[in-house]
A and B are shown apart, each in its own frame.
Chain A
């Protein structure tokens, strides 16, 4: 079956670093995405990994290990506005044009002063 696991909640301090882990088991794999979602809003794209390794984009980095079915999102220099849910999602096709994503349940991150 399709399964994407990530912690339900995390708390961190402003200015600190936090790592949100995601493990997945899907029938196919064509990329892993991280999205940020504030309450009541649609998700916004953060990062995309399709090859093993680290992708860095400003304060956010995302890592992928396909052999382990594992990814993490690293947030540095945390700010209060980073308090949100972070969704891990896997594209479950092989080069098809549809691009359907399977979402994890999200990790609610609370940043404290």
Chain B
């Protein structure tokens, strides 16, 4: 069964609005979750590392004020795309790594389309 869930699976919004994406760990306590972005025909690019109870670590070139990450519990991390623009349209995927199984699990992804 699924280890990681994401909601919503897809969203269409107008330019300038904010969109929140939830990522839940179903089977494991995830102290660390990762947020990736994938543009068409490109590979996954890490945006940020989300640590439970502390501030996220952002990759170079990712605006922390635009992509707000909240990891309030061991099973939930949220990514909020603030003031979304068409260039933010992408496939956003969360992931967690489990020490217990030494595996990295991906959520099913969220397709964001900004009009």
Contacts and interface: CB of A to CB of B under 8 A. Distances in A.
Interface of A: 31, 33, 35, 40-45, 48, 87, 97-106
Query: How many B residues touch the partner, as a band?
Result: 20 to 34
A35 B44 CA distance: 11
Which of B34, B44, B97, B106 has the most chain A CB within a 10 Å cutoff? B44
Contacts of A35: 106
The prevalent SS among residues of B at the interface is strand
Contacts of A100: 34, 46, 49
A102 B109 CA distance: 18
Nearest to B102: A48
Interface in B76-115: 91, 93, 95, 97, 99, 102-109, 111
B40 to A, nearest CB: 9
Contact of A98 (B49, B93, B102, B105): B49
